[in-house]
Chain A
Amino acid sequence: MSAIALTSASLFGLCGSALVGIGLFCVIAHPELLRRLVGFNILGAGIFLVFGAVSRRGAAMGLGGDPVPQAMVITGVVVAFAATALAIALLRRLASLTGTATLDPTSPEPSETAARSEA
Chain B
Amino acid sequence: MTPLYAATPSGLLLVLAVMLPASAVLAMLVLGPRHTRRIALITMALGLGVALATGIELVRSGAALTYIVGNWQPPLGIALRADGLSVMMLAVTAAVIAATGIFARDLFSLDQASCDGRLATSFWMLLMGLWSGLNLVFLSQDLFNLYVALELLTFAAVPLVCLDGRGETVAAALRYLMFALLGSMLYLLGAGLLYGAYGTLDIRLIAGASQHGAAIHIALALMIPGLIAKAALFPLHLWLPPAHAGAPAAASAVLSALVIKAPVVLILRLVVEIAPPEAAAIAGQVLAVMGAASILFCSVMALRQERLKLMIAYSTVAQIGYLFIVFPLAGIGDGSAPWGTIAWTGGALQLTSHALAKAAMFMAAGIVAEAVGHDRIRDLGGFGRVLPLSAATFGLAGLSLMGIPPSGGFIAKCLLLTAAAVGGQLWLALTILAGGLLAGGYVFRVVDRALATPAEPLVLRRPIPLRLEIVPLILAVLAVALGFLPLEPFGLLQIGRPDIAGAP
Q: Which residues of A does B touch, CB under 8 Å? A: 20, 27, 33, 36, 40, 43-44, 47, 50-51, 53-54, 57-58, 66, 68-69, 72, 75-76, 79, 82-83, 86-87, 90-91, 93-94, 97-98, 103, 109-112, 114-115, 118-119
Measured in the bound complex, the distance between the Cα atoms of B170 and A110 in whole Å is 10
User: In this complex, what residue of B is CB-closest to A93?
Assistant: B170
- Do A118 and B182 touch (CB < 8 A)? no
User: 18 more A-B contacts (CB under 8 A) besides A86-B177, A97-B167?
Assistant: A36-B178, A40-B181, A40-B182, A50-B189, A50-B192, A51-B195, A72-B195, A83-B155, A83-B177, A86-B158, A90-B170, A90-B174, A98-B171, A103-B174, A111-B169, A111-B246, A115-B306, A118-B376
CB of A94 within 8 A of CB of B167, answer yes
Bound Cα distance from A53 to B199, whole angstroms: 13
The distance in angstroms between the C-alpha atoms of A94 and B131, with both chains bound, is: 28
A-chain residues with CB within 8 Å of residue B172 when the two chains form the complex: 111
**Residues of A contacting B192 with CB < 8 Å?**
47, 50-51, 54, 69
The size of the chain B interface, using a CB distance under 8 A, is 43
With A90-B162, A118-B307, A118-B376: A69-B195 Cβ-Cβ less than 8 Å: yes
Q: Which 10 A-B pairs have the closest CB atoms?
A: A110-B168, A97-B167, A111-B242, A54-B196, A98-B167, A111-B168, A90-B174, A118-B306, A51-B192, A47-B189
Where the two chains meet, the residues of B that have a C-beta atom closer than 8 Å to any C-beta of A are: 76, 144, 147-148, 151, 154-155, 158-159, 162, 165-175, 177-178, 181-182, 185, 188-189, 192-193, 195-196, 199, 241-242, 245-246, 304-307, 310, 376
Q: Which residues of B contact A114 (CB under 8 A)?
A: 168
Separation of A87 and B179 alpha carbons in the complex (Å): 12
**Cβ–Cβ contact A27 & B195, under 8 A:** no
Known: A86-B155, A111-B245. A94 touches B199 (CB 8 A): no
Tell me which residues across on chain B come within 8 A of A43, comparing CB atoms: 185
Chain A interface mostly helix, strand, loop or mixed?
helix
Please judge, given known A-B contacts A47-B188, A54-B192, A54-B195, whether A115 and B310 are in contact too, CB under 8 Å. yes
Chain B residue numbers with a CB within 8 Å of A86 are 155, 158-159, 177
Residues of B within 8 A of A112 (CB): 241-242
Is A97's CB under 8 angstroms from B166's CB? yes
Query: Is the beta-carbon distance between A94 and B170 smaller than 8 angstroms?
Result: yes
Whether B171 lies near A103 (C-beta < 8 A) is yes
